[in-house]
Amino acid sequence: MTLLKEPDFGTPERPGEATVSVEVDGMPVTVPEGTSVMRAAAQAGIEIPKLCATDSLEPFGSCRLCVVEIDGRRGTPASCTTPCADGMQVRTQTPKVEKLRQGVMELYISDHPLDCLTCPANGDCELQDMAGVVGLRQVRYGYEGENHLDAEKDTSNPYFDFDPSKCIACSRCVRACGEVQGTFALTIEGRGFESKVSAGAGETFMDSECVSCGACVQACPTSTLQEKSVVELGMPTRSVITTCAYCGVGCSFKAELRGDELVRMVPHKDGGANEGHSCVKGRFAFGYASHPDRMLKPMVRDRITDPWREVEWEEAIGTVATKMRELQGRYGPSSIGAISSSRCTNEEVYVVQKMVRAAFGNNNIDTCARVCHSPTGYGLKQTFGESAGTQDFRSVAEADVIMVIGANPTDGHPVFASRMKRRLREGAELIVVDPRRIDLVRSPHIEAAHHLQLKPSTNVAVVNAMAHVVVTEGLADLAFVAQRCEGFAEWAEFVARPENSPEATEEVSGVPSGELRAAARLYAAAPNGAIYYGLGVTEHSQGSTMVMGMANLAMACGNVGRDGVGINPLRGQNNVQGSCDMGSFPHELPGYRHVSDDAVREVFERLWGGTLLSEPGLRIPNMFDAAIDGTFRGLFVHGEDIAQSDPNLKHVTAALEAMELVVVQDLFLNETAKFAHVFLPGASFLEKDGTFTNAERRINRVRAVMKPKTGKHEWQIISEIATAMGYAMSYDHPSQIMDEIASVTPTFTGVSFEVLDKLGSVQWPCNESAPEGTPVMHVDEFVRGKGKFVVANYVPTDERSTRRFPLVLTTGRILSQYNVGAQTRRTGNVAWHPEDILELHPHDAETRGIKDGDLVTLASRVGQTTLHAEISDRMPAGVVYTTFHHPVTGANVVTTENSDWATNCPEYKVTAVQVGLAHPLGQSGTEVVEDDHQLVTVVD
């Protein structure tokens, strides 16, 4: 595809039923009421010159280039700020406006460098374009007068430069930072001729609050804000529309290339999830794909202490197949298994689970979703009948009260956070349930109505107390409940018990009862109340219980089945939803159907040939246990780094060391690869064809921007391993894999590459009754028929603070890094977060003699590590926090093996720890600390 330039209608769409009809240059056009003259003209195919206007931003009316004449009106109004009125006659090209525009343009150019031929934006500059459009032929004022041509360039940001000498002060960047991103880091400083764009209080971009989302760069009509990659490589010449491979938002991007070299990623306006917005990772952090650390050749070794030996694909694949079969011969068919990756495409995940079930002949397939959102799958299936979130992201625009529980969207899901913040600025109320004071609690133009700053591990107590208020104060939507749900009476009796009252739970959760009651009333009374949640819900020993608790609360308040409501998991990796959909859990075939279901198994047995096991296989933690026990001997790890991401690393590495064959497929020699016998190099998302499914069940196309640098597609490698093991599996193209998925998965019946290419994306279910997908689930009835209230007992975690481990560690993410950092650590993003740090409350720091920046030890019952401290009152006293992006720190050295009762999702969010100043000689990682068994002192 040649470079895709998306049409710009100048001002945003004004949805609505009522319309008005106008004539623009004699062309009749009918538009929704409130539409600008500029947009109406664009819809009639008439481009009015503009500089400050763009359809992602509200009209501003500053550049004066879009002036028009309107019959019966005086003067020359700006077409961007003038709404259409019925019968209006607009003239866009008259001698008067032409002269005005030329005069305006002449003034702009009189204070602009005339270096077009050497300017990086040459050919992609709206100022240049408009100079041509308005017919500018001369600048009468000369260039000797006062100007801004010597203004100093700010090159502090790793990804883009700010050259104020080229700025026309149109404010598009400032407005994009506020309206689109919601950060408000930019401003116009000074007045009149002194007006200039400023990041923060006259700071550099790097020192300011700028989050490098790129909205300003995208909005800039000149070369003032310009990607460094464009400066270095030149303007791209072609684009490929694909999907970001970072978080579960699933942003669409135009990958813009020059030849085969990726120059930049530009968010795609038609992307259903992001609608033209991006974050620093998706927009800029793609350099890892061409990083010199990438492994491009397969490698094998007999023992993990041996050096690697590069081999050809044939030998690597043959080694995997032969050794896997040997292990099965020696230890039984169930002695091997695989972990699929939520970073890979649906098609790749599907073939991995197929390889396990059909070629390995067992159900020992699990996915990294085990350690993040498996409670979501379990809890929503039990209550609603479907293991997925209920809404599309767009729906948040209809929410009146938004409750964010155990999630930090501005860091973890920033593009969705921008949508949410926009709605909050419009007046929606916010409830934050989190031990930390995350940015959303108070940020520019946003303040949470309630911050329920609960103690880690007490989510269920809090949600039950909210339900108590709803039930006992008569706030439940009984009509909704009666019509659509079952089990209400038993559940209502349970939550109404005195032990679930806010007053009773206050001691456990630390949330003041009055605050909790007020939050519950706010949520229950909202016309539309929406819950968004993350790993701060799921990664607990009661993760599944909490998901069911939230579902109960939503049903009781009638907040399911329409726009602006629902239960919405914010998925971590790009394809967590998809990897679960594709049958990666050891008990489920694709489409969440249990392996014990004879009819379902029969469908797959017929298609795949052979017999499938009806018993569930091993989950990831069970694989580790079985490896140490000696019954599990061979593991294929597809695109994951379990030796950094999984809890209690000592146990994980012991399991990996115990196995006779560990196969790792990844872009880099990650921590897990240190324990591998075969390394299969993977392809980056830029080299893949297929689909990702995001947190809103949206199936997005991933299109190859370039050929795989390794010479093989990942689905191809899996197929060849299966074939070498004696199970013939072959596809010519991933579209065939999707066709197979559609043929055996009811929710995917209508999905094909052809449909996706035509519609852009679809949200499953996509089938005969919903051929273009299902943005909102459970509209008329729940997938399981009646929504089911499930009694959700609060069962405290076994992990206890003691005198020896008096603090609670909770973990999370930071905006600039992603997951275990394998990708982002190999990009310019390290400029923001070069190491993991430990946040702790000033009181906890002071009592330990810790100062900001000190090196400290972080010790739990299972291990200890060292890292630098940051004193922060975002933390409540008694709780400390760190990220897990860096292997040097290895935060999971200290996390325990406690896990969710229903799914084994690890309890990453609750680890009893002690923090102290690090001894200069005691800085090494995995030290085991003896348990003191003094389960007496509760966190203060």
Strands 529-533 and 567-569: parallel
> Which among 529, 673, 442, 535 has a CA at the least distance from the CA of 247?
535
* 622 counts as binding other proteins under rule CB under 8 A: yes
Q: With respect to other proteins, which residue has the nearer C-beta, 284 or 488?
A: 488
Question: Residue count at the site for other proteins (CB under 8 A)?
Answer: 27
Contacts of 682 (CB under 8 A, 6+ apart): 639, 665, 666, 667, 710, 714
Cα separation of 413 and 406, whole Å? 13
The only residue of 330, 594, 707, 919 in contact with other proteins, by rule CB under 8 A:
594
Alpha helix (H) ranges present in 824-904? 842-847
DSSP 572-630: SBTTHHHHHHTT-STTEETTTEETT-HHHHHHHHHHH-S----S----HHHHHHHHHHT
Closest distance between other proteins and the C-beta of residue 328, in Å?
15
Q: What is the per-residue DSSP string for 68-121? A: -EETT--S--BTTTPBP-TT-EEES--HHHHHHHHHHHHHHHHTS---GGG-TT
The contact pattern for other proteins, residues 527-546, with x = CB under 8 A and - = no contact, is: --------------xx--x-
Site for other proteins contains 631 (CB under 8 A): yes
Q: Is 896 within 8 Å of 799 (Cβ atoms)?
A: yes
Nearer to other proteins, 597 or 602 (CB): 597
Residue 901 interacting with other proteins (CB under 8 A): yes
Query: Is residue 510 a contact residue for other proteins (CB under 8 A)?
Result: no
Q: Is 500 in the site for other proteins (CB under 8 A)?
A: no
Decide if residue 795 touches other proteins (CB under 8 A).
Answer: yes
Assess 242 for contact with other proteins (CB under 8 A). no
Tokens 């934006």: give the residue.
Answer: 121
In the complex, the smallest distance separating the C-beta of residue 632 from other proteins, rounded to whole angstroms, is: 9
Return the number of the residue (512 or 616) whose C-beta is nearest other proteins. 616
Q: Give whichever of 187 and 544 is closer to other proteins, judged by the CB atom.
A: 544
- Judged by DSSP in three states, 137 sits in coil
* Residue number with CB closer to other proteins (616 or 925): 616
Answer whether the bond into residue 765 is a cis peptide, omega within 30°: yes
Q: Is 612 in the site for other proteins (CB under 8 A)?
A: no
Residue 331 within binding range of other proteins, rule CB under 8 A: no
Closest approach, Cβ 177 to other proteins, in A, equals 46
- Shortest Å distance, C-beta 635 to other proteins: 15
Number of DSSP helices (H) and strands (E) in the chain, helices first: 28, 38
| Contact status: 791 vs other proteins (CB under 8 A) | yes
The widest CA-to-CA distance across the chain, in whole angstroms, is 92
Going residue by residue from 871 to 900, which x/- string records binding to other proteins, judged by CB under 8 A?
----------------------------x-
Of the two residues 298 and 617, which places its CB atom closer to other proteins in the complex? 617
Q: Work out how close the CB of 596 gets to other proteins at its nearest, in angstroms, rounded to a whole number.
A: 7
Asked if 489 interacts with other proteins (CB under 8 A), we say no
Binding segment for other proteins among 85-93, 206-214, 790-798, 808-816 (CB under 8 A)?
A: 790-798
Q: Kindly write down the DSSP assignment for every residue of 210-236, as one continuous string.
A: ----SHHHHH-SSSSEEEHHHHHH---
Place of tokens 């490929």: 240
Helix residue ranges, H only, 391-447: 409-412, 414-425
Residue 126: strand, helix, or coil: helix
Strands 678-681 and 299-300, bridge-based pairing: antiparallel
Among 219, 380, 415, 618, the residue binding other proteins under the rule CB under 8 A is 618
- The owner of tokens 């990294």 is 368
The structure tokens listed for 928 are 């085991």
Residue 387 sits in the site that holds other proteins (CB under 8 A):
no
Beta bridge partners of residue 47, listed in sequence order:
none
The mark string for 346-385 relative to other proteins (x by CB under 8 A, - otherwise) is -----------------xx---------------------
Stretch that binds other proteins, among 38-46, 410-418, 619-627, 831-839 (CB under 8 A): 619-627
Q: Tell me which of 564, 586, 806, 876 binds other proteins, using CB under 8 A.
A: 586
Under the criterion CB under 8 A, does residue 926 sit at the interface with other proteins?
no
Does residue 902 touch other proteins according to CB under 8 A?
Answer: yes
For binding to other proteins (CB under 8 A), which residues are involved?
Answer: 334, 363-364, 494, 541-542, 545, 586-587, 594, 596, 615-619, 622, 626, 631, 791, 793, 795, 899, 901-904
